[in-house]
């Protein structure tokens, strides 16, 4: 059984006689846990003891706990969901109600997660109902994302008060990811911390903080639930992509192929990435000819291929039959619906059909930043700029670190351009240019904005940038390929094209 010795004078720790390298905060956390091995230490107590008089985020404590588990062993400190931690180094394994390895449920192929009870750090047990209510709302919001497998709170709440490690919970529930958090209260102000971790490794994938008032608790519950669901969706897509990437290529299945392809088709910063992503998706369809999500990602790849001008318009239209095939199958997958719906509106110029698909996707999952983003762009196409701005701003609000943030920002620029608010539009386009320079729509919009503002040198610079990307661009090509119905937008861009020497045909 491992033996830990802590020397208060030298502030050192030795495990089986070997000194353990610890930072000052980690030592303080370990010291307090080690002095209280017979009880569960709440997160609030640890924060007050180690960071006395300092307001810190719970993620600081989580980082220290993760570091201690690395050097002492995973079983040295157990998590007690909804409460805190228990020092268990050298303690006998808890025999109570533990599922055997043989009986553990399999981890689903799609992203799977459990939302654990949040720690009540408000200082009053009377607030427990509020803490549980927020967890219930978050779980319900995540469960509405059809591409997730979410464990119900009837299962996760059974862990309250039990000392377990996250890997054990992940195995017993058959999930890959765990969402945990805590709630603090000062007067009528609430502060909610959330973090998403990989169960097996304890690696933190995402964390955030939300502030609000207890006077409007139900609105705060909704805000936190929608924000967490929207933030987790892209994070899990990228986390799953990284997981699939690490697998041997000869063992890939259709799902893993799609997850490997996803980042390549989401952010196409090179033609090679686009082609590699499409090849993976074709392989996925060879394994499962009815894989709706693979078909939808192919459509999304064709969308981005033209938006970034890796392909000409005619080549980008090649997936239209596949997009209609997806819609004809009447899927309940909101991401698939939004990808093909936008593709049909943008490349197929059938905004009515595309908007219908995106509205259905939105009703199935109102907390997806991807859906909000593409729905906003389709409203741009039909010159409903205020609705476009509303959806695009909400996309940014619920997912401010989204990997495609530049598409959202430029969409707001496009809407402001159509509304005639040219100086403000140019500012949004300029910001988008720093976020996603490969998105050629930005240079096109800026060329028109600068021309309208009389900043001809800047317009010429954007024109040269765009010409290098699309050497055969002409006024007739713009008329034929752009889905926007706004006359003011189209006239401004056409004026800029002509002023900067682009041919008519």
pLDDT in tens, the chain (505 residues): 778 888 888 888 898 888 888 888 889 999 999 988 888 898 888 888 888 767 667 777 888 888 888 888 878 888 888 788 899 886 644 444 444 444 678 888 778 889 999 888 887 877 777 788 788 878 877 777 767 788 878 788 888 878 888 888 898 888 888 998 888 877 778 888 888 888 888 777 788 888 887 777 667 777 777 777 777 777 666 666 665 554 432 334 777 788 788 888 877 778 888 899 999 999 988 988 888 889 999 999 999 899 888 899 999 999 999 999 999 988 878 889 999 999 999 999 999 999 999 999 988 887 788 899 999 999 999 999 999 999 999 888 777 767 788 999 999 999 999 999 999 999 999 999 999 888 889 999 999 999 999 999 999 999 999 999 889 999 999 999 999 999 999 999 999 999 999 999 9
Query: Would you give the DSSP letter of residue 99?
Result: P
Residue 5 pairs with which residues in a beta bridge? 14
User: Same domain for 445 and 484?
Assistant: yes
- Which pLDDT does position 93 carry in this prediction? 47
Last residue of a domain, one of 244, 267, 285: 244
319 Cβ contact list (under 8 Å, min separation 6): 298, 299, 301, 302, 343
The whole model's pTM is what?
0.60
Residue 496: CATH number of its domain: 1.25.40.10
485 CB neighbour count, 10 Å cutoff:
15
Query: Are residues 80 and 175 located together in one domain of the fold?
Result: no
Contact status, residue 38 vs residue 47, Cβ threshold 8 Å: no
Instruction: Please check whether residue 73 lies inside any domain of the structure.
Output: yes
Shared-domain flag, residues 116 and 226: yes
Hey, how many other C-beta atoms are within 10 angstroms of the C-beta on 167? 16
Does some domain include residue 30? yes
* Residue 64 shares a structural domain with residue 167: no
Quick check: is 204 in a domain?
yes
Residues 42 and 135 in one domain: no
Name 380's Cβ contacts closer than 8 Å, sequence gap at least 6.
388, 411, 414, 415, 418, 484
pLDDT at 241: 61
Adjacent-strand bridge partners of 85: 41, 79
pLDDT of residue 383: 96
Q: Kindly state whether residue 344 falls inside one of the protein's structural domains.
A: no
Q: Which residue range(s) make up the domain with 123? A: 112-244
* Chain centroid, CA 158 distance in Å: 28
Q: Read off the CATH number of the domain in which 167 is found.
A: 3.40.50.10610
**pLDDT (0 to 100) of residue 95:** 42
- Residue 169 sits at the vertex; the CA angle it makes with 167 and 171, to the nearest 5 degrees, is 70
Which CATH number does the domain housing residue 45 bear? 1.10.10.10
- Asked if residue 117 and residue 82 are part of one domain, the reply reads no
Among the listed residues 98, 104, 204, the one whose alpha carbon sits nearest the alpha carbon of residue 158: 98
Residues 403 and 502 grouped into a single domain: yes
Query: For position 97, what pLDDT does the model report?
Result: 43
Give the Cα separation of 366 and 349 in Å (integer).
25
Q: Let me know whether 120 and 239 are in one domain.
A: yes
- Which residues partner with 189 through β-bridges? 186, 213
Decide if 305 is inside a domain. no
Number of domains forming the structure of the chain: 3
**Which pLDDT belongs to residue 279?**
94
End-to-end CA distance of the chain: 81
- Ranges of beta strands (E only) in 165-290 are 177-186, 189-198, 204-213
pLDDT at residue number 238: 65
Of 202, 227, 244, the residue that ends a domain is 244
Are β-strands 84-87 and 189-198 bridged in parallel, bridged antiparallel, or unpaired? unpaired
Asked if residue 51 is part of any domain, the answer here is: yes
Q: Whole-angstrom Cα distance, residue 376 to residue 346?
A: 12
50, part of any domain = yes
Distance between CA atoms of residues 36 and 424, nearest Å? 59
Q: Are residues 129 and 172 in the same domain?
A: yes
77 and 120 belong to one structural domain: no
Assess whether 34 and 131 both reside in one domain: no
Please check whether residue 436 lies inside any domain of the structure: yes
Residue 277: the pLDDT is 92
One domain, residues 38 and 118: no
């Amino acid at each position: 059984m491992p033996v830990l010795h802590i020397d208060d004078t030298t502030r050192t720790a030795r495990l089986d006689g070997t000194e353990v390298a610890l930072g000052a905060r980690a030592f303080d956390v370990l010291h307090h846990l080690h002095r209280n091995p017979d009880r569960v230490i709440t997160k609030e107590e640890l924060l007050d003891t180690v960071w006395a008089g300092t307001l810190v985020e719970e993620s600081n404590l989580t980082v220290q706990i993760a570091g201690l588990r690395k050097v002492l062993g995973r079983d040295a400190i157990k998590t007690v969901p909804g409460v805190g931690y228990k020092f268990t180094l050298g303690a006998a394994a808890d025999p109570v109600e533990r599922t055997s390895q043989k009986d553990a449920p399999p981890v689903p192929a799609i992203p799977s997660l459990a939302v654990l009870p949040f720690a009540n750090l408000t200082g009053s047990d009377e607030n427990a109902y509020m803490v549980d209510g927020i967890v219930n709302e978050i779980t319900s919001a995540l469960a509405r994302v059809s591409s997730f497998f979410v464990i119900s709170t009837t299962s996760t709440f059974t862990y309250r008060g039990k000392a377990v490690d996250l890997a054990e919970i992940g195995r017993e529930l058959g999930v890959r990811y765990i969402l945990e958090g805590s709630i603090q209260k000062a007067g009528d102000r609430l502060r909610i911390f959330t973090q998403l971790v990989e169960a097996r490794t304890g690696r933190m994938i995402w964390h955030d903080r939300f502030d609000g008032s207890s006077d409007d608790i139900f609105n705060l519950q909704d805000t936190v639930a929608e924000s967490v669901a929207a933030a987790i969706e892209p994070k899990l897509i990228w986390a799953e992509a990284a997981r699939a990437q690490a697998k041997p290529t000869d063992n890939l299945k259709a799902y893993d192929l799609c997850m490997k392809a996803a980042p390549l088709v989401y952010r196409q910063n090179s033609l090679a990435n686009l082609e590699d992503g499409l090849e993976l998706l074709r392989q996925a369809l060879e394994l499962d000819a009815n894989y709706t999500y693979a078909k939808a990602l192919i459509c999304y790849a064709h969308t981005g291929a033209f938006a970034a001008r890796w392909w000409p318009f005619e080549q980008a239209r090649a997936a239209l039959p596949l997009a209609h095939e997806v819609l004809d199958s009447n899927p309940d997958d909101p991401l698939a619906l939004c990808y093909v719906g936008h593709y049909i509106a943008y490349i197929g110029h059938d905004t009515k059909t595309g908007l219908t698909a995106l509205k259905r996707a939105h009703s199935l999952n109102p907390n997806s930043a991807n859906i909000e983003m593409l729905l906003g762009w389709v409203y741009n196409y039909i010159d409903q700029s205020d609705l476009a701005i509303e959806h695009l701003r909400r996309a940014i609000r619920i997912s401010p670190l989204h990997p495609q943030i530049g598409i959202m920002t430029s969409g707001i620029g496009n809407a402001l351009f159509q509304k005639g608010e040219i100086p403000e539009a140019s500012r949004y386009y300029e910001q988008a240019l720093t976020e996603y320079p490969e998105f050629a729509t930005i240079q096109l919009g800026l060329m028109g904005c600068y021309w309208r503002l009389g900043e001809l040198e800047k317009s010429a610079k954007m024109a040269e940038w765009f010409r290098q990307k699309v050497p055969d661009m002409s006024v007739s090509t713009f008329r034929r390929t752009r889905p926007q119905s706004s006359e003011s937008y189209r006239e401004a861009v056409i004026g800029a094209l002509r002023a900067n020497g682009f041919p008519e045909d």
